[in-house]
Structure 1
Amino acid sequence: MTQQPLAGITVLDFSTLLPGPLASLMLAEAGATVIKIERPGGEDMRFFPPRAGPASALYAMLNRGKTCVELDLKDPAARERVLELVDGADVVLEQFRPGVMARLGLGPQDLAARNPRLIYCSITGFGQGGPRAPDAGHDITYMALTGLLALSYGSGEAPVLPPAQIADIGGGSFPAVMNILLALIARERSGRGAVLDIAMCDAMFTFALFAQAKLTATGRGPGNGADLLTGASPRYRIYAAGDGGLIAVGALEEKFWTALCDVVGLPEAARDDRRDPDGTGRALAAAFAAQDTAYWAPRLAAADCCAAPLATLAEAFADPHFRERGLFDFDVATGDVTLPATVVPIAPVFRGARSAKAPV
């Protein structure tokens, strides 16, 4: 096996819940040694349902292959233990509100004085500076304040929540890993560490790229469901089949749109969606409603037109494509229970053991 790219790198992870632990999991999967520092009794995620054996399934999946050390950071003896660990560490990852680590004597300046090569990464909702820096928030808060959530929430009477933790993962975990890796490369050249300020809010503007382009080019941004990728185009919508199953259509390019229209038998008069988008949408909805999902699935696949039925998570786990790609070949053990490991975007060539334990 090729040596893992982060073999020999040690990460001290003070983070909890999702953003930081997922980031350190990805580093661990690439070979880093991750020492997870938890308060006495363990972090909150240990107690989240559902349970798998002695542990929370979420905790086990996020902390596969890490070593846990429980320390009371307010205890001077525990602080000395942390400082000893810092001397041999490459990365510190923390997720407290701004200023908390500094008050404990464990801020970036404190630790850099002991270990100038240390990369210190903080993940917060709003960053280390600015008027909102001390404020509390969750995933939905960060999407709300950056304009992302306003782009597509359904009706005001029954607004729809996003199905994923976009800010936590896309604004916290992924940027943290990306910038830690960049800092490790920069350290090879300079010999110096870095202080990284990751704000989950910041990356939400990246996710609003298409809306930002419209706003800056025309002076007005798209409204709720009124942009190409949020429902304004009949080429990019979800339609109901006759049995209530749903079909996701993403036939944006002309060749895919033409193939889709041919498969569903869309009348020629309705195919020019530029002339009457709503009329085309109604015609397409009527066509899909005429047959059940089982009728459409093989025909859409054969047409290669960027349209497919909505799979449940269980159906996706059983999909031969994802199985063949080995997405579920890794597992995590907690007590006597073994679970599929969290799927992380680390190439298999860089990953290590297919089975690892979670801290207990």
Structure 2
Amino acid sequence: MAEGDAPSGARPGVGPLAGVRVVELAGIGPGPFAAMMLADLGADVVRVDRAADVRPEAFGAPHPDLLNRGRRSIAVDLKSADGRDVARTLVGSADVLVEGFRPGVTERLGVGPAECLAANPRLVYGRMTGWGQDGPNAPYAGHDIDYLALTGALHGIGRAGAGPVPPLNLLGDFGGGGMLLALGIVSALYAVRGGARGQVVDAAVVDGVAVLSTQIHALRRMGMWQDPRGVNLLDGGAPFYDTYACADGRYVAVGALEERFYAELVRRTGFPLPPDEALDRDDPANWPALRRAWARLFRTRTRDEWTALVGDSDACLAPVLDWAEAPTHPHLAAREVFVSHAGATQPAPAPRFSGTPTALRRPPPHPGEHTDEVLAELGYPPERIRALRASAATA
């Protein structure tokens, strides 16, 4: 994975999506994440920011929002006729548009699917919402936790006898939302490259989270999953798939689901301590006593002592690292899972490709940092660019 510290200057032709042109209407959360994924994979992404957000004094230094990495920014007032014309000109030369507004907003702005596909019949128009483009909840606001609640996923996250735990928004916004949109866009691009017409991709967080939960629904059908939370193999119910506090207050994660891995964990750790007994782990009736026994054992050493003791093995024990520790872990460092680019340590593009390797090419831009550059590429003469600025259609 190539690194770089230069704050500007893209390397063309990097990644499997090199040559794909994307227009992103600035938003928050899953939409920008999808655009980041496309940029990480080599697409040329131009972000359309609000003209009111431009702060020229910040140009030249990376914006701190890493979700916006890999693209250029043009500032446009989409409420003005000239601004909408600029947006449609951008779309006319693009392969993809990404937007994350509530249903109907881009239509009212004059840059909805009908207008954009009329200007560019081969366009993939990617839409990102929480509830989707239709359905009773479509017009209303929501956040990650709300979408998880309706899909059943939130019900399954938490300890036995306690309420659901609000998780990080990795599951909804990014896993079920942005990643679903990125996959949908790439799939639609494949169809277009095969001769299909352009189309709209309706990606909704509720749809994506429901798809992510397919295995749980399958386990329920097979009688291998109970509806109460915190009593199953993968939700903290099993003592061999849980986290434990160590002597220093830090934690280890145990994921020894299979018998042979559990046997290795037992052998490496010396479990159990007297007077605890090595109870049959396959009987859920023994799980509470086994959990107490494991908890007592893990409190006898620090997190790093347990990590060193278990060592390189199939015991399926890992230290629970914090955000600052994670980039320095030997395995993650060896794979360059985190890289330094433009002065910021951040997750590297993923996945990896043998023939079309990816790289971070640009740091996050400030709104409007590349307006003149992008307009010139679109064929706007200098006097027209000045006129657009004077009218506040761009900034």
What is the TM-score of this pair, normalised by structure 1?
A: 0.88
Distance 1:198 1:356, change over 3 A: same
Identify the match of residue 41 of structure 1 among 48, 52, 65: 52
Structure 2 residue 285 is the aligned partner of structure 1 residue 278: no
1:118–1:194: 8 Å Cα contact kept in structure 2?
Answer: yes
1:239–1:285: 8 Å Cα contact kept in structure 2?
Answer: yes
Structure 2 residue 336 is the aligned partner of structure 1 residue 326: yes
Match of 1:120 in 2: 125
Higher relative contact order (CA 8 A, sep 6+): 2
Identity of aligned residues (%): 37
Q: Secondary structure at the match of 1:358?
A: coil
Match of 1:170 in 2: 175
- Greater mean deviation of Cα atoms: 147-156 or 275-284: 147-156
Letter in 2 for 1:272: D
Letter in 2 for 1:233: A
Deviation at residue 345 of structure 1 after TM alignment? 2.0
Match of 1:295 in 2: 305
Identify the match of residue 32 of structure 2 among 13, 21, 24: 21
Inter-partner Cα distance in structure 2 for 1:283 and 1:90 = 58
Match of 1:357 in 2: 363
Inter-partner Cα distance in structure 1 for 2:63 and 2:364 = 10
Deviation at residue 234 of structure 1 after TM alignment? 1.1
1:211–1:227: 8 Å Cα contact kept in structure 2?
Answer: no
1:330–1:354: 8 Å Cα contact kept in structure 2?
Answer: no
Match of 2:9 in 1: none
Inter-partner Cα distance in structure 1 for 2:210 and 2:101 = 23
Distance 1:229 1:11, change over 3 A: same
Structure 2 residue 11 is the aligned partner of structure 1 residue 10: no
Inter-partner Cα distance in structure 1 for 2:153 and 2:349 = 24
Q: Secondary structure at the match of 1:162?
A: coil
Deviation at residue 300 of structure 1 after TM alignment? 1.8
Distance 1:109 1:2, change over 3 A: closer
Deviation at residue 54 of structure 1 after TM alignment? 6.0
Inter-partner Cα distance in structure 2 for 1:283 and 1:341 = 38
1:37–1:70: 8 Å Cα contact kept in structure 2?
Answer: yes
Letter in 2 for 1:144: A
2:128–2:203: 8 Å Cα contact kept in structure 1?
Answer: yes
2:48–2:75: 8 Å Cα contact kept in structure 1?
Answer: yes
Letter in 2 for 1:211: I
Inter-partner Cα distance in structure 2 for 1:13 and 1:312 = 32
Inter-partner Cα distance in structure 1 for 2:289 and 2:207 = 38
Unaligned stretches of 5+ residues in structure 2? 1-11, 367-395
1:235–1:252: 8 Å Cα contact kept in structure 2?
Answer: yes
Give CA deviations for 1:61-80 in whole Å, capped at 9, x if unaligned: 12223111111111111111
Give CA deviations for 1:229-250 in whole Å, capped at 9, x if unaligned: 0111111011122222211100
- Greater mean deviation of Cα atoms: 255-264 or 339-348: 339-348
Letter in 1 for 2:149: A
Match of 2:64 in 1: 57
Inter-partner Cα distance in structure 2 for 1:4 and 1:214 = 38
2:123–2:198: 8 Å Cα contact kept in structure 1?
Answer: yes
Inter-partner Cα distance in structure 1 for 2:337 and 2:271 = 37
RMSD: 2.7
Deviation at residue 131 of structure 1 after TM alignment? 0.8
Q: Secondary structure at the match of 1:329?
A: strand
Distance 1:354 1:107, change over 3 A: closer
Q: Secondary structure at the match of 2:252?
A: strand
Inter-partner Cα distance in structure 2 for 1:323 and 1:67 = 29
Give CA deviations for 1:37-70 in whole Å, capped at 9, x if unaligned: 1112339xx9xxxx9x966522xx1222311111
Residues 82-93 of structure 1 aligned to structure 2 (within 5 Å): 82-93=87-98
Match of 1:223 in 2: 228
Residues 78-227 of structure 1 aligned to structure 2 (within 5 Å): 78-154=83-159, 160-218=165-223, 221-227=226-232
Letter in 2 for 1:38: D
1:12–1:92: 8 Å Cα contact kept in structure 2?
Answer: yes
Structure 2 residue 76 is the aligned partner of structure 1 residue 71: yes
Distance 1:88 1:346, change over 3 A: same
Inter-partner Cα distance in structure 2 for 1:66 and 1:237 = 40
Distance 1:191 1:330, change over 3 A: farther
- Greater mean deviation of Cα atoms: 249-258 or 227-236: 227-236
Deviation at residue 312 of structure 1 after TM alignment? 1.6
- Greater mean deviation of Cα atoms: 210-219 or 8-17: 210-219
2:24–2:46: 8 Å Cα contact kept in structure 1?
Answer: yes
Match of 1:266 in 2: 271
Q: Secondary structure at the match of 2:98?
A: strand
Q: Secondary structure at the match of 1:231?
A: coil
Inter-partner Cα distance in structure 2 for 1:302 and 1:35 = 45
What is the TM-score of this pair, normalised by structure 2?
A: 0.80
1:211–1:222: 8 Å Cα contact kept in structure 2?
Answer: no
Q: Secondary structure at the match of 1:131?
A: coil
Inter-partner Cα distance in structure 2 for 1:6 and 1:355 = 13
Structure 2 residue 258 is the aligned partner of structure 1 residue 253: yes
Distance 1:291 1:277, change over 3 A: same
Give CA deviations for 1:127-177 in whole Å, capped at 9, x if unaligned: 111111111111111112211111122377786431343211001211111
